[in-house]
Structure 1
Amino acid sequence: MKTTAPSQVRKQEAGSTLFFTQQLCTIVFLVAVASPSVRAAEIYAFGQQLSIPQNTASGSILARYYATPTQVCGLLECFITAVRNYPNGGNNAVAGPTITTNVSGISARLLINGQAYVTGEFSQPIKLSQPVEVQLLADGRQNLGGSLAGANTVAPNYYTLTMSNRTASQIYLGGTITPIAGTCSVPNQTVILPKGSLNKLSNVGSTIGMKNFQIQINNCPKGYNRVGYTLDPVGGTIANSPGVLPLAGGSTASGIKIRVENAQGVPATMGTSIKVDGYNKTADGSFAIPMQASYIRTDAVAKPGTVNGAMTVYLDYQ
């Protein structure tokens, strides 16, 4: 398992990419909007103390906040007809969709069904099919920390969403940003599974060749409220196959893949931030997350050969 550890904070900071390779039978596993008349809702995003790496690549997502359709409009179904973006929570809307906040180095972006929109009316109402997301982004300026609260003393919201029933929802940003010098690191590594025999993988779902390994998270500085990690399979997740990695380049086997599990043998959770147990904001430290990997038969028809898989470890901070 081989990894590359790009510096990205997604919140997140890219860590290593774990590559697995193996060979069955000689298996080697390596590894301008109309004014609404009524307010539908007021949403206060974040609203807490956020510790964020001081030096982060511009465009990196630093934090995310979600509001359900019910929170946005007070109804089970929301239809949005317009959006307005107010930089710094000020008086004047701008196109956006990325706008500055009151904290130097931090910008914000609102996503509706996963897409950011400039200020204006929509040609057709947009039905919310997923929670609205507010992202905080590094924007290349020096992160000096401070309060996110809007600058307009009368209406300090950063976003206004107009609904099809002419009501509106305001989204405010709250909380305090504390810049932290330094981040954790995740070294690259390769995991090699033992050789295995195809005839021992007799049924779909059967496994062999279990190998223990650890995800190392090193040199975490003190000061963060939380450090998390997210596992991301290179090539994307496979539906209905928890913990299973897609075949990576150089694989010659078929019908066989690699499954990653936690120390208890439960398939690894992919795409979700998991708290690094043991991290304490009052002290720096390094941590080892015990994992295991094995071959798994995924298809009725299988062919022996080399099996490669990889995953990337992303770090996030609060």
Structure 2
Amino acid sequence: MKTPAERIFSAIFIVPQLCVIAFMALAVSPPAKADVTAFGQEISIPRNTANGTVVARHYMTPQEVCRQSKCTVDRVLAYPDGGGVPSSSTIITTNVMGISTRLLINGRAYGTSSPGVEFTQPIEVQLLGDGRENKGGSLAGVHSSPYYYNLSGAGYGFRIYMSGTITPIDGTCSVPSQTVKLPKTLINRLDRIGATAGTQSFQIQVNNCPKGYNRIGYTLDPVGGVIANSPGVLPLAGGSTASGIKIRVENAQGTPATLNTSISLSEYKKAEGGSFVIPMQASYIRTDTVATPGTVNGAMTVFMDYR
């Protein structure tokens, strides 16, 4: 389930509420083993995770799979619920209600098949919501041979087990809508590329976070994409009439905000939950040699992620 909170600067910086769920749980097993156990930790996620939402990821290098820098996978066997009858589906259920798994090789998903595919980059196992109510529990397979995937090629066999506990949490944080309006400024205050003016402080409010998550993070995602070599700068949004000037989002100390990267909400404590504020500020910034006055609009989306 996603919750973007969209902000439009304009002089106007707008943020309607949304709530985003995007999880990254990365674990790496010891090198050169015949088998691997993925995950292994407690993974706390919202109970009603949207269908297809990735809640955790585990990567395995070619050295782990076949003890070489390049592996060829001739055969994949995928076992729903960690054993039993193989399935050709690229998404198979785990024995935790509401959570399924997917195996990716070179970014492509495989069920039981004979792909004959080579890879030099890590393969990935994902856990994802499948639309059913998440009731939690252990990922360990319920059958006598509780592995989920069996990969084989010339001279090797590689089985992927799973462990760890899925803990469903009722509820997510909320991010209320707000409008942040920058003051008018004179263009001669922006007399060179990189000059800033018209700084306006604001806060991202994160309210009513429930107890129980191991980590809550937030990601600032500029609408229109990240501008290369322009930290914290938002692309111009619709309605802008100025040129050569944009809006830069900064932390409370004036350092350009980190965009498109999950940042831990450090004040959140698993046993307490609560509401929090993230102090920020925004400024006009000169970005081009030629600049003309007018209205400057920008937008970003705030994504919340839970683990």
**In which range does the TM-score fall when normalised by the shorter chain?**
0.7 to 0.9
Q: 1:4 maps to which residue? A: none
Q: 2:270 maps to which residue? A: 281
Q: Is the 8 A contact 2:268 2:274 kept in 1?
A: yes
- Matched to 1:30, the amino acid is F
Q: 1:30 maps to which residue? A: 13
Q: C-alpha offsets along residues 246-298 of structure 1, whole Å, 9 cap, x if unaligned?
A: 22222222222221122232222222221111211111310001111112222
Q: Is the 8 A contact 1:66 1:132 kept in 2?
A: yes
1:227 and 2:216 aligned: yes
Please point out which of 228, 237, 250 is paired with 1:248: 237
- Matched to 1:21, the amino acid is S
Q: What SS does the aligned partner of 2:183 have?
A: coil
1:100 and 2:83 aligned: no
1:218, distance to aligned residue in structure 2 (A): 0.4
Please point out which of 51, 68, 92 is paired with 1:58: 51
**Structure 2 segments unaligned to the other structure (5+ residues):** 15-31
- Structure 1 residues 146, 291: closer, same or farther in 2, change over 3 A? same
1:191 and 2:185 aligned: no
1:101, distance to aligned residue in structure 2 (A): 0.6
- Matched to 1:45, the amino acid is A
Q: Is the 8 A contact 1:19 1:189 kept in 2?
A: no
Q: C-alpha offsets along residues 159-178 of structure 1, whole Å, 9 cap, x if unaligned?
A: 23445x55343332210111
Report 1 or 2 for greater relative contact order, CA contacts < 8 Å, sequence distance ≥ 6.
Answer: 1
Equivalent residues, number: 290
**Structure 1 segments unaligned to the other structure (5+ residues):** 1-7, 23-28, 32-38
Q: C-alpha offsets along residues 63-106 of structure 1, whole Å, 9 cap, x if unaligned?
A: 33334454444444455555443221213321221111110011
Please point out which of 98, 102, 115 is paired with 1:109: 102
What TM-score, normalized by structure 1, do the two folds share?
Answer: 0.82
Q: Is the 8 A contact 1:14 1:312 kept in 2?
A: no
- Matched to 1:160, the amino acid is N
Q: Is the 8 A contact 2:59 2:124 kept in 1?
A: yes
Q: 1:87 maps to which residue? A: 80
Alignment of 1:64-75 (within 5 A): 64-75=57-68
